[in-house]
Amino acid sequence: MSDLEQIKIAVRNFTAERAWQPFHSPKNLAMALAGETGELVSLFQWLTEAQSRSLTPEQLADAADEIADVQMYLVALADQLGIGIADAVANKMVKNAQKYPADQFRGSARKYNDPPA
């Protein structure tokens, strides 16, 4: 069983034990996901690039908690929609490889529809 499958089962069980299923509509889960993503972003908001790469142990623990929250809501949302995350990622990577050929985008932060510099 994959890690994502184990997370999905754990989140399902946690939700069922609390009878939260009526509240876990795709809309509500997407909104909760956005909120948790915002909490993750807020941890980095005023850090420099260098600071963001060398977090204190407390900052790292906070980031781990927020990443876990984001992952749990993402897994729950995908579960509600019947989307397999691993398959969705694999399909999106194929699309990204077509949009961003390595020989044309190596070392560049430009978007696929921006003209080359």
29 and 80 in contact (C-beta within 8 Å)? yes
Q: Which domains does the chain have, with CATH numbers?
A: 3-105 (1.10.287.1080)
Q: What is the pTM of this model?
A: 0.90
Q: What is the pLDDT of residues 6-53, one digit of tens each?
A: 999 999 999 999 999 999 999 999 999 999 999 999 999 999 999 999
Q: What's the pLDDT at 78?
A: 98
84-110: average pLDDT:
95
Distances (CA, A) of 29 to 26, 64, 98: 5, 20, 31
For residue 111, the 8-state DSSP code is -
Contacts of 52 (CB under 8 A, 6+ apart): 44
